[in-house]
Amino acid sequence: MEAKAIHRYIGSSPRKMRLVVDLIRGVSVEKALEVLHFQPKHASKDAEKVLRSAIANLMNKDESSKHEPSDFFVKEVFVNQGPTLKRISPAPMGRAYKIRKRSCHLTIVVATKA
């Protein structure tokens, strides 16, 4: 059995989020939470939040059978690019530099072992 959680429009670039997400792919849930909690990168807070949501979704999916979080693992994790906000910064000699504020969508799929 598996469940997923999606967080859309995260205010971090997809490239920075992928650095964090690559650390937890295919790992047990307990290990993934530990890695994300002590990771110094800012994107790890959002990733931990989505992982906890995916775990809760899986536990609520089938309430009749009791599952332990130690039986779960991160089956699939991916980051897609979200919309880019375009801003302009003043530059010398009347020019303008473009600033692209990128966002991303994070999806985490958690499944049970066996």
Q: Are strands 85-90 and 104-112 parallel, antiparallel or unpaired?
A: unpaired
Which structural domain, as residue segments, surrounds residue 96? 2-112
Mean pLDDT of the chain: 94
CATH number for the domain harbouring residue 22: 3.90.470.10
Q: What is the pTM of this model?
A: 0.91
Structure tokens at 6: 């999606």
Q: What is the DSSP letter of 92?
A: G
According to the model, what pLDDT value does residue 86 have? 98
Establish how many alpha carbons lie within 13 A of residue 57's alpha carbon, considering only the half-sphere containing its beta carbon: 16
Q: What are phi and psi of 33, to 5 degrees?
A: -65, -40
Spatial contact of 87 and 99, defined as CB atoms under 8 Å apart: yes
Please classify residue 110 by burial: count the beta carbons closer than 10 Å to its beta carbon, then call 0-12 exposed, 13-18 middle and 19+ buried.
Answer: buried
Query: Rg (Cα) of the chain, in Å, rounded?
Result: 18
Task: Count structural domains, the chain.
Answer: 1
Tens of pLDDT, residue by residue over 17-67, are: 999 999 999 999 999 999 999 999 999 999 999 999 999 999 998 777 777
According to the model, what pLDDT value does residue 29 have? 95
According to the model, what pLDDT value does residue 102 have? 97
According to the model, what pLDDT value does residue 62 have? 77
Structure tokens at 36: 């994300």
Tens of pLDDT, residue by residue over 70-81, are: 889 999 999 999
